[in-house]
Amino acid sequence: MAKQNVYDNEVFFEGYRRLRQKEGNANALFETPALFSLLPDLKGKRILDLGCGCGDHCAEFIRLGAASVTAIDISSKMLEAAREQNADPKISYINMPMEDISSLEGGFALEKLVEPLPSPEILEKHPEQADLLHRPDFLLIRASKNK
């Protein structure tokens, strides 16, 4: 399975950026408030944000007291925007597909996983990621559309 990255396509990225910049977008109205309502106290926690996008959640994690955020995204365009819009010395932005997270050093007290959930094929190829999903200190947050 190929590692997907549609966000580095200039046309797609600009369309996505315009959509997200609109006041009252669905992400701002529904997804982000729902996500943050589910989180425990973040004071002193080390956060791993997979698919961090433009880093908006990362900045909020720091504002809520997280000690640090390791923010991963496959898109260099997303990370460029994140560094411009949400720079913070406590946030480390890394260009990496989520399939490669086993190469990260250190453990995390809290992890946030956003869509897409790693596919069964990826988890089969990378069993260490499947193990991560079963750790007692792992918090899985997945946004999905109502059908």
pLDDT digits (tens, 9 = 90+) for 91-141: 999 999 877 877 777 655 444 444 344 556 656 666 655 555 555 444 444
3-state secondary structure of 106: coil
| Whole-model pTM over 0.85 | no
What's the token pair of residue 54?
């433009």
CATH of 6-133, one of 3.40.50.720, 3.40.50.1980, 3.40.50.150, 2.40.110.10: 3.40.50.150
- DSSP code of residue 7: G
pLDDT digits (tens, 9 = 90+) for 55-101: 999 999 999 998 888 899 999 999 999 999 999 999 999 999 877 87
**CB of 79 within 8 A of CB of 50?**
no
More confident: 54 or 142: 54
Q: Residue 111: what pLDDT?
A: 46
Q: Residue 132: what pLDDT?
A: 55
Question: How far is it, in rounded angstroms, from Cα 89 to Cα 106?
Answer: 18
